[in-house]
Structure 1
Amino acid sequence: MAATLDNDLISRFVGDWYRALDEHATEDEVLGYLVDTNPEMTFPEGTLRSTEEFLGWYRTVVNRFFDEVHEVTEVTSSIRGDVADVKVRVNWQARIWNPPAATSQWLGFDADQTWQVVRDEAGRLRIRRYVVDALHPMPGSAEL
């Protein structure tokens, strides 16, 4: 039987998700964090409503951003059984190269996010909904 959902369990899951993004994990690995059917992911560039759309986004970002570091600074969960509404604040720093520029640029943002995390039939945590509510640029950051 799966452990009862609590903020510590969800915080570990959030940290694991960002480690996978920082390491540019395989597509199968990152899909393991999402519900199998119709995940909803809202980023500044738009809303994605399928695993195929998510994979298109993921392929773009792993080829655009490098030296990524996500540091989770806050996780607050409202839990109802096997469903959690989660507020996440994460500091994201990375580098980006825009051809034909001679050098890369540093990016730094604090992101406010809202997630909905659920258990799948096997008891694993999965992201059903992921919304970037706001991006706050750090001083000196290039624009996205």
Structure 2
Amino acid sequence: MSSQASPRPSGQPSSQLSQEAVRLLAKAWYEALDRHDELADVTRFLVDDGLEMRFPEATARGHAGFAGWYEAVTHRFFDETHTITEVEVTPGATEATVTVLVNWQASVWNPPKPRSEWLGFDADQTWIVVPGENGPLIKTYIVNGLAPMPGSASL
């Protein structure tokens, strides 16, 4: 008898793509963004090859593209808070499609204005996640839309 684990039957998703595993990924991802963690601590949530992230202002590909975007936003926005309102996982055999609804609030200072401004948006996102060595990883990250909250400054 072989000591290797038997492969999953075809069509059965990895436990890494379960609702709970992906919710934990989303929670950890947004906590890292809110803290403005070091780049290496944030890229651990992302695939190494084939990463695509579509934001309203840019599309970032690969870790290098993400690094440029991350540097820009961590130098522009502060006091960030992401509050997840929904994570809906549709698992597949090798990847899962995830609908994420998140409320994002932050402050921004646009020089030479005398004060910072408050931003508040509800973001509708679609992610594609795949199993990784230590848990699910984000392969595709799409911001489908941003709905401003009443009183929010514009981006």
**1:58 is matched with which residue?**
70
Deviation at 1:105, TM superposition (A): 0.1
Matching residue's letter, 1:130: Y
Contact 1:41 1:131 in 2 (8 A): yes
SS at match of 1:10: helix
SS at match of 1:103: coil
User: Percent of counterpart pairs with the same letter?
Assistant: 48
Matching residue's letter, 1:124: G
Q: Which ranges in structure 2 are unaligned for 5 or more consecutive residues?
A: 6-13
Which among 51, 75, 78 is matched to residue 90 of structure 2? 78
Counterparts of 2:142 and 2:154, CA distance in 1: 20
Deviation at 1:25, TM superposition (A): 0.5
Contact 2:17 2:129 in 1 (8 A): no
SS at match of 1:44: coil
The question of 1:7 aligning with 2:19 is answered yes
Counterparts of 1:22 and 1:123, CA distance in 2: 22
Counterparts of 2:50 and 2:97, CA distance in 1: 17
Structure label with greater radius of gyration = 2
How many residue pairs are counted as aligned between the two chains? Answer: 143
The question of 1:100 aligning with 2:112 is answered yes
Q: Which ranges in structure 1 are unaligned for 5 or more consecutive residues?
A: none
Contact 1:5 1:81 in 2 (8 A): no
Which among 126, 134, 143 is matched to residue 137 of structure 2? 126
Contact 1:7 1:77 in 2 (8 A): yes
The question of 1:135 aligning with 2:112 is answered no
How does the TM-score come out when normalised to structure 1? 0.95
The question of 1:26 aligning with 2:38 is answered yes
Which among 99, 103, 125 is matched to residue 113 of structure 1? 125
How does the TM-score come out when normalised to structure 2? 0.88
Runs of 4+ displaced beyond 6 Å: none
Contact 1:91 1:108 in 2 (8 A): yes
CA RMSD of aligned residues (A): 1.4
Deviation at 1:24, TM superposition (A): 0.2
Contact 1:38 1:51 in 2 (8 A): no
Matching residue's letter, 2:136: L
